[in-house]
Amino acid sequence: MIHSATDEPAQGEVLAPKFSPGQLVATPGALEKVQPEEMQAALARHLRGDWGEIGKDDRRENDLSLEKGFRLVSVYRTAAGLKFWIITEHDRSVTTILLPDEY
């Protein structure tokens, strides 16, 4: 089952991030094909614990990983439907925005 965001903040409301992203990096493909505004919006969701279009099991795994300090993986789509990932390393030192074929 694919899950999309249901915890969008109300207009004017700002939800605090649940973790620090560390250094932010993006791959060449992501920089070429994903608009900066879409990256920023997806990153904000990722930091709030909204893991995007992942299944129930992966969502539970991310929630556990957030608590235990493991790697976090989110999946989002651009307005044009292009899938991209955001991965934060277990030590929260780096968060990477990338296209699936760049993994």
Residue 52 lies in a domain: yes
Residue 5 lies in a domain: no
Residue 1 lies in a domain: no
* Structural domains counted in the chain: 1
Residue 6 lies in a domain: no
Q: What is the rounded average pLDDT for all residues in the chain?
A: 90
Residue 3 lies in a domain: no
Residue 46 lies in a domain: yes
Residue 79 lies in a domain: yes
Domain extent, residue 93, equals 23-102
**pLDDT tens, 34-58?**
999 999 999 999 999 999 999 999 9
Q: What is the pTM of this model?
A: 0.86
Residue 28 CB-density burial (10 A; 0-12 exposed, 13-18 middle, 19+ buried) = exposed
Residue 11 lies in a domain: no
